[in-house]
Amino acid sequence: MLTKGSITQSLAEVRRRMDQVVVRSKRDPSTIRLLAVSKTQPLSSVEEAYQAGQRAFAENRVQEWLAKAPSLPDDCEWHLVGTLQTNKVKYLDKNVAMIHSLDRFSLLETLNEHGERRRMVWATLVQVNIARDPAKAGLMIEEVPDFLNSVGDYPHVHVQGFMTIGALEASLVETQGFFRELRCLRDTLQSRKWSGVDLRELSMGMSRDFEIAIEEGATIIRVGSQIFGTR
């Protein structure tokens, strides 16, 4: 964890680096969102990031989101980026802006069930194990079309794009290749029409590799340690 004031400085540095790569890659800056991943961080660190202008935060665990969200102002945007257990869905509500880890039919069914009860539609991203890393969750590339084809049967779930996590042991060059492959998958499938599916978002890139993710078309980057330090 960084000392007081350091989070503000680190956040400014991340934004500066984002601006540089946006210019270099000729991207529209309005199409890229920064999520501050606050997992395992104390509430005081999240509050400092908020005071520095950050509004979009991400948690891995439902329990941490439940503990922090009520203490932050209502204009915070909360994302869940970790593996979501079906028995935790009952704790979620409309204050979750997006679920990044839709990776199996059982979760799709459970989200739809709870969405129907609450008369709401969940915004989700399908997690794709683009690196075929056995340590990571997510659908394999060849499983994605059939999964998207099924989404229309679950009207309380809306898929807005894909999420991926690079392989732990991959080099930056290899990781860039994975990001490019996910973008190509999105571009290939985007022209197809599925009910409840709009593949406009690509959530990829973390503290180590967010710059190459932006170069490869990320619309959402998930940065934790570069903002908050390690714990």
Domain range list for the chain:
6-228
Residue 2 has pLDDT above 60, yes or no: no
CATH of 6-228, one of 1.10.10.10, 3.20.20.10, 1.10.1740.10, 3.20.20.140: 3.20.20.10
pLDDT of residue 155: 98
Residue 5 has pLDDT above 70, yes or no: no
pTM: 0.94
104-161 confidence digits (pLDDT tens): 999 999 999 999 999 999 999 999 999 998 888 999 999 999 999 999 999 999 999 9
Rounded Cα–Cα distance for residues 202 and 176 (Å): 14
49-66 confidence digits (pLDDT tens): 999 999 999 999 999 999
Residues 96 and 79 sit within 8 Å (Cβ to Cβ): yes
Burial-class residue 80 by CB neighbours within 10 Å (0-12, 13-18, 19+).
buried
Residue among 114, 68, 62, 112 at smallest CA distance from 88? 62
